[in-house]
Amino acid sequence: MAADKAVELVKDGMKIGLGTGSTAYWAILKIGELVRAGLHIQAVATSIASEKLAVEQGIALTPLERIGRLDLTIDGADELDPQLRLVKGGGGALLREKITAFHSDRLIIVADENKVVSVLGAFPLPVEIVPFAKEWTSEAIERLGCTVRLRREDGGQLYRTDNGNYIADCHFDVISSPEQLQKQLSLIPGVVEHGLFLGMADLAYIGRASGEVEVYRKQGI
């Protein structure tokens, strides 16, 4: 329901970013339904998985070098607070998601009510790191006050992102100052990107078990 509400913002002729994850999945399905009914859009995807789903749904993808700035991106979140600060990257696509969101006029989030928290941190913060010296990078991150676990596949091998990097899942429990943590992570060599999306989301559609969809808005919107 939240995804359907978000997709109402998609209009003919728009340039759209397609997010990654369990909630963005439903938005892609709905957009595909509209495309098959005659909606004309240009689209880019934030992961190989979303690219595959988009193609299956009949959504034509436009090469990045030809699309320019996006009108909006619809994506999910692993956590969000009432200030629309997000933790993303549970699906491993945080770098491509952040690049796409940065180049979008609006970032629209879809999530269920369990993703809404008063304080970020219960969900481990994903940080994408380069394979070289992964131990050093992990140790530097741990000095910020967390426990780091490199993400692994079901078979036990280290998980690789679509960009060939590793994901360090950082267990903080409570992130009392996301803005400060964002700066600290960005200063660590070996960190490619982190899953804190601060000041980027414009709207969030939250699906509740009651059947209602609650809307969170960035201040001033």
CA dihedral 122, 128, 134, 136 (to 10 degrees): -60
Bridge-based pairing of strands 104-112 and 79-80 is unpaired
Number of Cβ within a 10 Å radius of residue 78: 24
Name the β-bridge partners of 60: none
Name the β-bridge partners of 86: 80, 197
Choose, from 51, 97, 128, 193, the residue flagged as catalytic: 97
Three-class SS of 41-84? CEEEECCHHHHHHHHHCCCCECCHHHHCCEEEEEECCCEECCCC
97 an active-site residue? yes
How far is the C-alpha of 74 from the C-alpha of 128, rounded, in Å? 21
Bridge-based pairing of strands 191-194 and 125-129 is antiparallel
The residues assigned a catalytic role are 97
